Amino acid sequence: MAKYTKLIGTIIFTLITFSVYSISQGQNSTNQTLTLSTIEGDPSYIDALYLAGYAFTNTDSDDPSFVYQNGDFTFLEELSFLDKIDHSTNPLINKIKDKHASFLRGKSPYATFEENKERIIYASSRSDIYWSKSTANQLSVSVLEKSTNKETTDVFSLPDNLQKSDFMNLRDVYITYPKIYFTVGTSNPSTNTEALSVLSVDLEDSEPKLKLVREFDSEFNDTNNGNYTGLSTSNSRYLNLNSTYYSDEGESTVSKMAFYDYSEDKILDMPDLEKLSSPVVLEAEEGLYIAAAAEHGYTIYKADTAKSPVALSKITEISGSAESSTLYPTFIFNDSLYSYEEIYADKNSTSFIQTNDLETGELTYRGKLTSNNEKDENVYFSLTEFELSE
């Protein structure tokens, strides 16, 4: 009988876990319904819209996280136990899971994934991998060939000239197969120095090896590959470099900003950048654009990177719907600008999604995020993902 003790214990634990989960699901089912209502324009602009985030009320005690895809909202608390375990707010990971679930095994959901017609590429720090025993200053790359379903994994150590660093953290990744670029922060206690460096590897080399591309000047001590909404801009060709300093109270100040081009290995000479407020890089097939915060929206500039210094030409201005609104530029697709707007008035917050023609600024779609909750409370939306999914 003793040999069955472990099995019986496992079965009992599983039954208790599912029972507790089922009871909690019944008690904590959400009391609100989310909608994205078209106010004006053509709703086809958001046919492929993907949102992830939180819908908070003043008295929320449940998990308010949600996703919006294929025109429907889903609260994560409403998913089944197994679906909740497997779910990711990254739509690409969910897409990979449907057809290539085994490729995700043992990989961090917070790493960088990229997919093209032939393969899926994964890049991360070894310290991101769950239950990894050897994580010291190593980077990992996995590639799945779709035609053969064959996976290869390479683990790279820091180049010799960075080996004396006793700490490494991964700041950014840019994948353009067969090349992969990593921006890492390193510290060297023996010299009491910290540095940001760009490393690269060419996976088609006969013996792929991590190489040092460049070390940035010490004035650049931070990166911010996201925009001032907090929304990520993953796998971007351009790295946002900052000179960030912290006061004794912990408040940060950015004294200098620049953009580094991975493909060309150069910091863009853009003197007009210093004159702009909270500039954000927006990449598109049409070229490189800079969005700068304005009083009630933002101004869009097109960057001519063929010139040195880079020339910025004003394209259009995009305005919010009210003086109390804050409009955030997020991405460009098919000559359209996609933005997220927040209006805060009378202690209430309202959120909107809008699209504008890239060249003319004409409003082409505007929709409102709303909640019909039973308690008739104001709902505050916080987005963590805002993109288009295939």
Residue-by-residue DSSP string for 280-331? EEEEETTEEEEEEE-SSEEEEEEEETTSSSPEEEEEEEEE-SSTTEEEEEEE
So what's the pLDDT on residue 347? 66
The reported pLDDT for the residue numbered 63 is 62
As a whole number of angstroms, the distance between CA 69 and CA 49 comes to 6
Q: How far is CA 291 from CA 123, 227, 300, 302, in A?
A: 29, 10, 5, 9
User: Which residues fall within 8 angstroms of residue 69, CB to CB, at 6 or more apart?
Assistant: 49, 50, 51, 91, 389
Residue 5 — φ and ψ, nearest 5°? -60, -45
Question: Which residue(s) pair with 211 in the sheet?
Answer: 200
Helix (H) or strand (E) holding 95: helix 91-100
Exposure of 311 in the CB half-sphere (CA atoms within 13 A): 5
Task: Classify residue 389 by burial, with Cβ atoms within 10 Å: 0-12, 13-18, 19+.
Answer: middle
Token pair belonging to 389:
């999914």
Residue 106 in contact with residue 129, Cβ under 8 Å? yes
- Residue 13 is predicted with a pLDDT of 46
What pLDDT was estimated at residue 257?
A: 82
Domains of the chain, residue spans: 1-30, 33-86+268-390, 88-264
- Please give the single-letter amino acid code of residue 20: V
Could you tell me which residues are beta bridge partners of residue 355? 338, 365
166 and 158 in contact (C-beta within 8 Å)?
no
> pTM, whole model, 2 decimals?
0.81
| CA dist., res. 126 & res. 138, Å (int) | 6
Q: CA 28 to CA 61: how far, in whole Å?
A: 9
Query: Which parts of the chain register pLDDT below 50?
Result: 13, 15-29, 130-134, 226-230
Contact 275, 286 (CB under 8 A): no
pLDDT score of 195: 83
3-class secondary structure, 96: helix
| pLDDT at 23 (0 to 100) | 44
C-beta atoms surrounding 44 within 10 Å: 9
pLDDT of residue 300: 95
Cβ-proximal residues to 50 (8 Å cutoff; 6+ apart), any chain: 67, 68, 69, 91, 385, 386, 387, 388, 389
Q: Which CATH number fits domain 88-264: 1.10.10, 2.40.128, 2.50.20, 1.10.3470?
A: 2.40.128
CA separation, residue 378 to residues 54, 323, 327, 345 (Å): 13, 20, 20, 11
The pLDDT of residue 2 is: 53
Question: Which tokens hold the place of 357?
Answer: 């023609």
In the sheet that holds 325-333, the strands lie side by side as 34-41, 363-371, 348-357, 336-345, 325-333
The pLDDT tens digits for 77-94 are 887 777 777 778 788 898
